[in-house]
Amino acid sequence: MGGEKHDQEYMKKVNKQMVLQIIKSKGPISRADIARITSMSPTSISRIVGELTELDLVQETEFYSEGVGRKGMLVNVCPESVTSIGIYINRDIVQLGLVDFCGKVVVMNTIPIEPDHHSIDEMLEKIVTGILVLKENPNYKKIIGIGVGMPGIINLEEGKVIFSAQLGWKNIELKRLIGEKTGMKVIIDNTEKLRVLAENLYGASRHSNKSALLSVGSGVGSAVVIDDEVLRGVKNSAGEIGHTTVDPEGMLCECGRRGCLQTYIAESALLKEANKVCRINSIDEIFGAAENNENWATNLLERAAKYIAIAINNIACMYNPDTIILSGRLIEHHPLIVNLIEQKMSYIWEPYEDTFKLVYSELKDEGVLIGAATLALNTYFELN
């Protein structure tokens, strides 16, 4: 059906990316082995490795290939030669880091945000200062661009925050604002899409081709990556599971409708419910109360676990992934909720029980930042 015309230039680029990918995943590796894996000619491989070496992306190592034939020096990536800046904006912290092109965070700074100080002006000042600090790090010269992850509906092409309930932002041209103040290329995306991208490349689902992620923290979201492509939808907002209805007569949601998934599992929702019973200031206090066998806390967390299991079922039914990653602060910081969720697997429709592996975020708090930096790198680092 239709399709683009595959010309020489395009093939060259694809081949170069493939060779780099192989060196990343299998290096140190000989040119001969790369030729064997790719079915390309040794001459082409030598040319491409030469080009990648000139870009400082790969280098020859001290190792030589074994086996018969002429001995060749093995090549490997130089991951830190090229970096990008990843930024994770949330309502209570901003994380900024330099990430190398193998997904490793080489420098990271965290800026706390005080309650009710998350207006765009206050946040932007802190973000820009943080970027300038990273830019001046003498160890990393080649910084390709900036990737920003934040909760909400983000127009990826325009770099515009359409709507973020958690930050209270609406129609903010964040790409332009950061770009103007730093002179760097900027790309913005939604937190869950970046988390799943990072887990898919470097974390819990790196052996999967079709993985979905459910994140539960101050907000609730999901995202899917299929054959290395994030499922975006027409407005980059596929995966907004927090506002799927799981009980039409349920609790009122901030969106004005009833029984949205997030009203049962988002941290803010749990805090509101808990405060109907006693004065509670943090999620940790709820878990503490549950560990002391206080009934209200156990009930609240049991219900949260049930609705998380329902969300897992609905994700399995809708996307049929081979892996479902649970992530987000509520899950990553509280082993108790993990136990409770695993006791609720009867909420999964039977034919799907064995279709996916349930795994937990490996990158945890750093996932958004790594995903954001990687997206910037993939977008702005053109292998020409």
Residue 188 CB, nearest approach to its own copies (Å): 17
Q: Which of 109, 252, 295, 349 binds its own copies (CB under 8 A)?
A: 349
What is the C-alpha to C-alpha distance for residues 27 and 103, in angstroms, rounded to an integer? 15
- Cβ proximity to its own copies: between 239 and 371 the closer is 239
What is the C-alpha to C-alpha distance for residues 312 and 306, in angstroms, rounded to an integer? 10
210 binds its own copies, rule: CB under 8 A: yes
Q: Find the part of the chain contacting its own copies (CB under 8 A) among 79-87, 234-242, 282-290, 365-373.
A: 234-242
Q: Find the part of the chain contacting its own copies (CB under 8 A) among 12-20, 48-56, 138-146, 177-185.
A: 12-20
Q: Which helix (H) or strand (E) holds 96?
A: strand 93-100
Burial class (CB in 10 A: 0-12, 13-18, 19+), 18: middle
What is the C-alpha to C-alpha distance for residues 271 and 338, in angstroms, rounded to an integer? 19
- Cβ proximity to its own copies: between 289 and 373 the closer is 373
CB contact at 8 A, 206 and 199:
yes
Q: Find the part of the chain contacting its own copies (CB under 8 A) among 113-121, 130-138, 277-285, 304-312.
A: 304-312
Q: Structure tokens of 22?
A: 């192989």
Q: Which of 112, 171, 351, 384 binds its own copies (CB under 8 A)?
A: 351
Residues 6+ apart with CB under 8 A from 183: none
1 binds its own copies, rule: CB under 8 A: yes
245 forms bridges with which residues in the sheet? 260
Give the β-pairing of 105-112 and 73-77.
unpaired
CA of residue 38 relative to chain centroid, distance? 29
By three-state DSSP, how is residue 343 classified?
coil
Q: Which of 10, 119, 137, 158 binds its own copies (CB under 8 A)?
A: 10
Which x/- pattern over 138-167 shows residues binding its own copies (rule: CB under 8 A)?
---------------x--------xx----
Q: Which of 38, 46, 268, 298 binds its own copies (CB under 8 A)?
A: 38
Residue 367 CB, nearest approach to its own copies (Å): 18
Q: Structure tokens of 163?
A: 């709507």
Which x/- pattern over 242-261 shows residues binding its own copies (rule: CB under 8 A)?
-xxxxxxx-----xxx-xx-
9 binds its own copies, rule: CB under 8 A: no
In a 13 Å sphere around the CA of 350, the CA atoms on its Cβ side amount to 0
Which alpha helices (H) appear in 97-190, and where do they start and end?
Answer: 120-135, 174-182
318 binds its own copies, rule: CB under 8 A: yes
Q: What is the DSSP string of 242-306?
A: GGSBS-TTSPBPTTSSB-BTHHHHSHHHHHHHHTTTS----HHHHHHHHHTT-HHHHHHHHHHHH
Q: Which of 228, 254, 284, 353 binds its own copies (CB under 8 A)?
A: 228
Q: Find the part of the chain contacting its own copies (CB under 8 A) among 45-53, 181-189, 284-292, 313-321.
A: 313-321
384 binds its own copies, rule: CB under 8 A: no
Which x/- pattern over 83-122 shows residues binding its own copies (rule: CB under 8 A)?
----------------------------------------
Q: Which residues bind its own copies (CB under 8 A)?
A: 1-3, 5-6, 10-11, 14-15, 17-18, 21, 38-40, 153, 162-163, 209-210, 222, 226, 228, 231-241, 243-249, 255-257, 259-260, 306-307, 310, 313-314, 317-322, 346-347, 349-352, 355-356, 378
